[in-house]
Structure 1
Amino acid sequence: MNLYQLKNSLTTVGAELKRVEEEIANTAGDPNIDISNIENLERQKINLKKRFDILKNQHDSLEQEQEQEIKARANQNGASQVKGMDSPDPKQRKIAAKAELFRATMRGREVSEEVKAQLGGVKAVLGDNGDSGGEKLLPTTMTTELLHEPFVKNPLRGHSTFTNEINLELPKISFQLDDDEFIGDTETAKELKSTGDIVKFGRNKFKVFAPISETVLRGTDTNLVQTVDRALESGLAAKEKKVAFATTPKKGEEHMSFYSAEIKTVEGSTKLKAIKAAIADLHEDYRANAKVAITYAEYMDIVEDLANGNATLFNAQPEQILGKPAIFCDAAVDPIVGDFSYSHFNYDLPVTYERDKNVRTGIEDFVLTAYIDHQIKLKSAFRIVKVNDTP
């Protein structure tokens, strides 16, 4: 007898038992009914109660067995879907969780709560998230790694400020005095007067596409995670560098570029003289922490001109050559001199992910959507360097 048949029999016997119990109660209160009828009903009740107990024991035992089988199958399926999540090594568990997130996304299935928990869970959206619609939020651990760990491909990381805050507003200067005339740099004072002392960060949406072939998707967790992570990290770094050093910025992104017309240009007869003049032109508050963003090729040209055949200068530190530490960046077509702590990148809204297929190649993309803004909090803290070609 299966569980369904046992349930039906249990219901039938239970209903009959209840009917007999009610009849006994009604009959016992009527003195005109012979006692033998009541005794007969009592025997029926005893028999029905025994039948009911036997059926109930069989039903409960079979139901418990089936529940255990379901749990065992669920555990087995979970282990097969997220292989490696039971590893004693936290690093391997994290790689397995990332790989499962990538595979689930590319195959259009939901990501398990176990995976989300392993990757730090998902933060609630605290601001306006109308643009992201039904897209999925990237787990917090992955967001932190992508946005806050230094990337080799973006030279400004470690020099500029990076945050991930919603609706961020910051003061342009970090302290104030009761004397309104405390700002010694007249350029800074004029800038604050014309633009205000608060900088508000906006949202500039962009997407990073990480192509994933079926071979990689079916391959090892480590290779899959490295492939996607490398693509996403490179994409974010490339976007940061592109907006900061754009000579012809996109509409709406003009304020993000150092080559804005609002940043003062300092010229010199040679690149080195122009750099030193730009450093000297900075107010001492900015000069103390100033660095020089310059292409490596231009820097080597300066060293070669200074060396004049003397190889020892090639071993010197950039600070000894330029007078300030160097930030090598091929996108810095004209060197930028300044205090890069006033260069601030902010990622607004949680980073989201989805999938997209290129119908022409058949390759599917893991797509990351982010919202970035680069604010040069004080333009007076920077100078653009140019060579004066006039004799």
Structure 2
Amino acid sequence: MIVGDYVLDLCNVFYSGQVESGSCFQRMLGNIKTGIILKDVSMTVHSGEVLAVLGSKGSGKKALLDVISRRARGPIRGQILLNNQPMSLCLFQQRCGYVTHKCDLIPGLTVAQTLYYTPTKISGYLKKSKVKQVMADLALSQVANKCTEDLTLSEYRRLTIGIQLIKDPVILLLDEPTWDLDPLNTYLVVSILSNAAKKYGTAMILTMEKPRSDVFPFLERVLYLCLGDVVYTGGTRQMLEYFNAIGFPCPQLENPLMYYLCLSTVDRRSRERFMESNHQISQLVEKFKIEGGAFRKSSNIAGANSTINHALGHGNKIPLLIGKPSSCSTGWNIYMRLLSATVSFKKAGIKQTFLRLFLVPLCFLSLWTFYREMQIRRTAPDITRSPRRDSMEELYFS
């Protein structure tokens, strides 16, 4: 049940940063090409909603997540507000979560152990209950005792999502959570995210490069980006109404998500198509700036949440519950996580035990032997000096 309506607002956000990876030599000299990555991006998302950021490669999807999470390196203009409070790095770390595309989990730990040893503000029986609840919500209960290195790609992705959900974030960012998944598991992951968003009152913001039609019902909002410009942002169902009104109705039996994604992508197959598509996208961007204000904040679930909050007597600004686990609690969880991964009779645990009990002492023994050899060489007499030269030096200094 949603206790409070958390609102994330981006207002006229511009971001300049690195547009090319660059070679090692260029990074050393600081000659990496930079440019404007996000241009006047505005969007709104409420708690309990799922917002999909859609765009082709290089459109600025990952950069948008980095800007919201305050990971972006480069000048940022505009406002990023969580319940009318500026989004700082500290605020994001305390109340939000980020599931990256590549996440390495500790081998040797089971799914249940990985979730249980995640640092949170709760412990004991409450944490065990929370772990069981999250595993059930993410369809991981059947693999609770399975090691992380033995999971399928879909189970692995759902576990990385669970690590963030166990912290009760109000905003959860997900970078390509369905990448390389088959259609069935893509549907499973998106439907699970939608159910979790409504159950926990979490706003989910995920990036997708090739959205399928069967995930359409699970997306309350959508944001189309093209080279950093906003082509459309707002309610998913209102999207059909908007594009129909400006003369771009979606053909029957077409996937609307993919159709409008293609409409928002520059066609590079020839110079003529490139110029034509670029001009059309520029017109769409300008048209949305003029006519898209009403669509940007519209969403069915947003209206429902607002009604609930007014009925409960909540104001427009809901105080954020700031807090995070103590340093001692975090250190203890990390220690227990490493200990559980080491003291394990499974393949990964035996490997970790061997590395820690045999290989590490062997390295220290090698370093100690090298140090002793250096000490012996330093204290040994220098046989390269001739007796005649030593006697001449004694006579000279006497």
**Fold-level match, TM-score > 0.5?**
no
- What TM-score results when the alignment is normalised by the length of structure 2? 0.20
- What TM-score results when the alignment is normalised by the length of structure 1? 0.20
Tell me which structure has the larger Cα radius of gyration: 1
